[in-house]
């Protein structure tokens, strides 16, 4: 397995023109269906945890049911702050602790995790998603995170995140994930713009992964508490540092 630093060098060396060729070959046009912004089908089904489970039985992670799960999109600390600047948002309005590694307790999730995910509503959808007459829209579109800007694509590099949905196609270093907009015509200009952002995201994700690794210091955690380790250090769910 390559080191994160080696993978970062590979990300820096990615050829934007080749990425654009791959995106153009696969094809993509956003249909505004909203599937990438909403909970996966089945979320909320059988989502209640019994007292017996809480007291020592099987524990579910904080993603909900066994099949469906809430919308989970990685957002980095500076991206959270950028979204905050678009309105009167607290940290918790924008982001929540990444659910992986957390378990559901009587008063909500507890445990420790790496990084943040965009906040969700009671339906498990992204809190910034809205739908009118069946057409989806993002209320913070101009300031949305890199993972949202580049969906449904990712690059095949270790240390980078894979978005929701299975990879269903690939061309060179580019993977395409489940999306009804795949296979549609895309202009060269749009493909090049998407490729540029995809490379930026790959480098950024590896920078974040390296920073998380280098700044990681185990923190004491009280019963029922959540601790988040991100590229800036150890934090509480409200984004404030753990001293």
| Percent with pLDDT over 70 in the chain | 88
What confidence tens digit (pLDDT) does each residue in 2-12 have?
Answer: 899 999 999 99
Q: Which range, 51-65, 182-196, 209-223, has the best average confidence (pLDDT)? A: 182-196
- HEC assignment per residue over 16-64: HHHHHHHHHHHCECCCCCCHHHCCCCCCCCCCCCCHHHHCCCCCCECCC
**How many other CB atoms sit within 10 Å of the CB of residue 122?**
8
pTM of the model: 0.85
Q: Which SS3 state, helix, strand or coil, does residue 75 take?
A: strand
Average pLDDT over residues 129-139: 93
Given a cut of 90, whether residue 41 has pLDDT beyond it is no
Nearest to 193 by CA among 25, 17, 32: 17
Per-residue burial over 209-235, b = 16 or more CB atoms within 10 Å of its CB, e = otherwise: bbbbeeeeeebeeeeebbbbbbbebbb
Residue 47 makes CB contacts below 8 A (sequence gap 6+) with 64, 65
pLDDT for 197 beyond 80: yes
Model confidence at 243: pLDDT above 90: no
More reliable by pLDDT, 138 or 59: 138
């Amino acid at each position: 397995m390559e080191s994160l630093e080696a993978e970062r060098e590979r990300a820096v060396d990615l050829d934007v023109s080749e990425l654009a060729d791959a995106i153009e070959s696969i094809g993509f046009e956003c249909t505004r269906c909203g599937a990438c912004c909403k909970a996966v089908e089945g979320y909320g089904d059988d989502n209640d945890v019994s007292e017996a489970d809480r007291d020592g039985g099987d524990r579910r992670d904080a993603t909900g049911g066994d099949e469906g799960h809430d919308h989970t999109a990685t957002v980095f600390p500076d991206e959270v702050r950028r979204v905050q600047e678009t309105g009167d948002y607290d940290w918790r309005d924008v982001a929540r602790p990444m659910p992986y590694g957390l378990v559901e307790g009587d008063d909500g999730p507890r445990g420790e995790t790496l990084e943040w995910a965009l906040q969700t509503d009671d339906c498990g959808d992204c809190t910034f998603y809205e739908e009118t007459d069946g057409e989806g829209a993002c209320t913070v579109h101009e300031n949305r995170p890199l993972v949202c800007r580049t969906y449904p694509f990712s690059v095949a590099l270790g240390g980078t995140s894979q978005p929701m949905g299975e990879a269903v196609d690939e061309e060179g270093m580019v993977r395409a994930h489940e999306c009804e907009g795949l296979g549609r015509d895309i202009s060269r200009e749009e493909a090049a713009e998407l490729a540029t952002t995809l490379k930026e995201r790959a480098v950024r994700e590896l920078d974040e992964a390296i920073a998380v690794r280098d700044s990681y210091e185990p923190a004491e955690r009280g019963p029922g508490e959540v601790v988040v380790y991100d590229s800036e250090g150890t934090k509480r769910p409200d984004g404030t540092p753990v001293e």
